[in-house]
Amino acid sequence: MPHNKLTKSQRELFCNLKAFLYTKAKNFTPIQDVKDMALILDTQDKILKCHNIEQLKQLCHILYNQGIKHTIMMQGLFLFFNYFKDNLKLRSFRMLSEEQVINFLFELAQNRKPSSMAKYVMYLRHSLIIWIEKGVIALILRLKTQPLLRPKKAYPDI
């Protein structure tokens, strides 16, 4: 991806992913056991300066290895970025619809465990809510975790 140009909507999503990771890393750093605070602070600065998704993934991995374990859930957002890049052609990220988000989640659910899907949905929903509140996207979010999980088998009463 370093040689590929991003469209406007892809660039908007990428910038919002960077801001989301930066905010999460900054908010969670003081309360978790970290191995090297200087490296974490340096990595936080690099997050805002990175230019492609591969660099952002590497920085996320560094944060994870230094003790900021919640960054593992960024994997779901990276999968969303790849889906967005490959399948959605929007003029602006602001035009993202709930149907497109749900299509991504259902496609992802085809080869993921329900427990993983619940985490991906939770983290994606959290990021979407933040972006809605900031006015980045104009989406009415009715997305809940439960409907996207595989249905439980109903057992008859004995």
Which 3-state string (H, E, C) describes 67-106? CCHHHHHHHHHHHHHHHHHHHCCCCCHHHCCHHHHHHHHH
Residue 143: its pLDDT value, please? 54
Q: Where are the extended beta strands (E) located within 1-158?
A: none
> 62: which residues sit within 8 A by CB, 6+ positions away?
39, 43
Q: Supply the pLDDT for residue 46.
A: 94
Q: How far apart are CA 49 and CA 36, in angstroms?
A: 20
pLDDT tens digit string along 120-133? Answer: 888 888 888 888 88
For residue 77, give the nearest of 57, 94, 55 by alpha carbon: 57
Report how far residue 42's alpha carbon sits from residue 36's, in angstroms, rounded to the nearest whole number. 10
What is residue 147's predicted lDDT score, i.e. its pLDDT?
Answer: 45
- Number of other residues whose CB lies within 10 A of the CB of residue 11: 12
Task: Name the token pair of 23.
Answer: 């905010």
Tokens representing residue 115 in the block: 């427990």
Would you say 58 and 47 are in contact if contact means Cβ atoms under 8 Å apart? no
pLDDT block averages, 10 residues each, the chain of length 158: 74 93 79 76 91 94 86 90 93 89 90 86 87 81 48 45
Q: Using a cut of 0.95, tell me whether the model's pTM lies above it.
A: no
pLDDT of 149: 39
